[in-house]
A and B are shown apart, each in its own frame.
Chain A
């Protein structure tokens, strides 16, 4: 099995981007997905429930100590950073904001990279800040596969551009192509 996990990070414009990719995943898509979407600390998780309906996959907020399972999509809870442990479980922390964000994409990506190394995919979507750039670079350094949403196609190009300015990504793609590629990864797995 080549890929054990896919991590995603998105900020402004991210809800549409994530929805578009998740709804295009094939039925029985099995690589677990862990994602950070910047939301207000008081977000009530309604948007997660709305994803659950469209994705046909099991979308849920990540719980502390929960084991990462195939076929699930995990979302970082508002106001907590999400980390992955060596034993493939989640940890939460209320450590200070990173890049003004909690949850921060960098925090998730760096901890995932340490655990999964070359057996993972990291994706940066639209956003108006630079969170995730360092994390994606880390994933690349440790052998993982990196994807950045094509800045020209992003609602807010700043976050994809920030990532690309730190490192050459393996793929720079539109949302449609990202979904296609993920389906291919899953099929080959």
Chain B
């Protein structure tokens, strides 16, 4: 038999080591997800056991950060789930228009595609000038990439498609300049975006905001941790504020579900009750 399931004890110890050494807490992340990521790193690194990885984490800074990167899944897209963005235009923008100033938090923003999408949407709706977008992630490397706003050209086709299907009002090419094999987001979109390192598991409330996006992050957390994070979001939202989750996420495990109205059940858009 080949090296079979990695012992749960070893994984628990490794996560403990990462926490104590680097302060990143993965102890309440879904085990199947962690196991899958660690197995692939194990195969690449040539190490034999998770215990050997633990030794590396404790004695090799570089390795520890490689693991952090492995455990943070950064897959994202611009206008991911176009129907969701359509619903934002229809159901959320009218609410935002009633505010003199709008604060938006993208929690787990990855390489920034979501934040740029929102900036575009706000601009088209005439709201950008009175908005502030806080885009946060705990992965500094991906945050730096987000800040730069430079993406691979081969993504343009998908992003343009998504943008059009989401009900975009202009031509997507208005929002970037192409350069060799990269495209660069229009600098003016960044004007009101603040990029910040924030760990939603270990750091506290970030700001008081009108809208929170946290899409496809909570799926990686166990129930208890999801509950804690939902509490954090609830405390961060103003009354009447809007919470946007990923298409397969919800509030089902928490009592907080009674404290929100469903603005769009299918697109997972919720409004905090007054």
Contact = CB atoms under 8 A, between A and B. Distances in A.
Interface stretch (A48-56, A81-89, A149-157): A81-89
A95 interface: yes
B4 A83 contact: no
A94 B253 contact: no
B30 interface: yes
A20 interface: no
Contacts of B8: 86
Given A65-B253, A85-B30, A107-B36, A93 B1 contact: no
Contacts of A94: 73, 75, 216, 219, 246
B5 interface: yes
A91 interface: yes
A141 interface: yes
Q: Is the interface of B mostly helix, strand, loop or mixed?
A: loop
Contacts of B31: 85-86
Given A83-B36, A85-B31, A65 B223 contact: yes
A91 B33 contact: yes
A80 B33 contact: no
A114 B220 CA distance: 19
Contacts of A95: 33, 36-37, 73, 75
B223 A110 contact: no
B32 interface: yes
B33 A93 contact: yes
A91 B219 contact: yes
A64 B219 CA distance: 7
Interface in A83-107: 83-86, 91-96, 107
Nearest to B162: A42
Given A64-B219, A93-B73, A111 B1 contact: no
B264 interface: no
A142 interface: yes
A127 interface: no
A156 to B, nearest CB: 26
Nearest to B249: A64
A77 interface: yes
A183 to B, nearest CB: 30
A63 interface: yes
Contact of A141 (B2, B30, B216): B2
Given A93-B220, A94-B73, A114 B5 contact: yes
A110 to B, nearest CB: 7
A93 B32 CA distance: 10
Interface string A55-90: 000000001110000000000010010011110000
B35 interface: yes
A80 B253 CA distance: 20
Contact of B219 (A86, A93, A96, A107): A93
B192 to A, nearest CB: 27
Interface string B202-228: 000000000000001001100100000
Contacts of A65: 223, 253
A83 B2 CA distance: 21
Closest 7 CB pairs of A and B: A83-B32, A91-B30, A114-B5, A91-B32, A92-B219, A94-B75, A111-B32
15 contacts: A64-B249, A80-B219, A83-B36, A84-B32, A91-B33, A91-B219, A92-B219, A93-B73, A94-B246, A95-B36, A107-B36, A111-B32, A111-B36, A114-B4, A141-B2
